[in-house]
């Protein structure tokens, strides 16, 4: 019976953490969208000579574009981007950023749930942060064994590319 309650608690905490993480991600995305100008406005600001096309020189002033993305966006291979090509690549870049945030939130949530489910670690306060698949653990543990155990548990989470174990052993 105790094992069933533990599983129910873990599932409830996982769902709660996921909800908080996704809500935070959505809030950040909304905030970014509110402060950005439309792609058409951005295009017009970059189009210095006002010919309706962006050269690489003009487009490189947009920090989210590089020569590789410019070449990918240049569908007609004329060495310039029209408004549609620009809007399409900007949409793809934005979608990739949102996807990364969601992916990192899922990794963080799963890592926290696994740490809570681990009996030897669940009473400890271990903070988990994820950026581009790199997980950073911080907080305090009682000994080196628990520090290593936390890292082992998090390493089993799908999507984790690397772990920076910043846990401090309390003396």
pTM of the model: 0.56
DSSP, collapsed to helix, strand or coil, labels residue 91 as helix
168 pairs with which residues across the strands? 140
Binned at pLDDT 50, 70 and 90, residue 17 comes out as: very low
State pLDDT tens for residues 23-38. Answer: 343 334 443 444 457 8
Token pair, residue 165, equals: 């174990």
- Backbone phi, then psi, for 48, in 5-degree steps? -60, -45
The confidence score (pLDDT) of residue 120 equals 86
pLDDT-above-90 percentage for the chain: 61
The confidence score (pLDDT) of residue 112 equals 93
Q: If 0-12 CB within 10 Å is exposed, 13-18 middle and 19+ buried, where does residue 89 land?
A: buried
The confidence score (pLDDT) of residue 11 equals 52
The confidence score (pLDDT) of residue 20 equals 43
> Is the CB of residue 117 less than 8 Å from the CB of residue 6?
yes
The confidence score (pLDDT) of residue 171 equals 74
Letter string b/e over residues 13-46, b meaning 16 or more CB atoms within 10 A of that residue's CB: bbeebbeebeeebeeeeeeeeeeeeebeebbeeb
- Backbone phi, then psi, for 52, in 5-degree steps? 80, 10
State pLDDT tens for residues 72-119. Answer: 999 999 999 999 999 999 999 888 888 888 899 999 999 999 999 998
The confidence score (pLDDT) of residue 22 equals 43
Annotated domain spans of the chain: 2-169
């Amino acid at each position: 019976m105790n094992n069933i309650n533990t599983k129910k608690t873990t599932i409830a905490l996982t769902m709660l953490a996921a909800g908080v993480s996704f809500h935070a991600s959505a809030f950040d995305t909304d905030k970014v969208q509110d402060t950005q100008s439309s792609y058409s406005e951005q295009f017009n600001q970059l189009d210095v000579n006002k010919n309706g096309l962006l050269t690489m020189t003009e487009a490189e002033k947009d920090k989210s574009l590089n020569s590789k993305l410019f070449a990918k966006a240049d569908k007609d291979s004329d060495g310039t981007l029209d408004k549609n090509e620009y809007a399409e690549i900007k949409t793809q870049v934005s979608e990739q950023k949102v996807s990364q945030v969601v992916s990192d939130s899922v990794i963080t949530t799963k890592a926290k749930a696994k740490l809570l489910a681990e009996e030897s670690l669940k009473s400890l306060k271990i903070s988990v942060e994820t950026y581009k698949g790199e997980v950073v653990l911080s907080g305090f543990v009682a000994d080196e064994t628990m520090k290593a155990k936390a890292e082992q548990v998090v390493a089993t989470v799908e999507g984790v590319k690397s772990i920076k174990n910043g846990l401090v052993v309390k003396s």
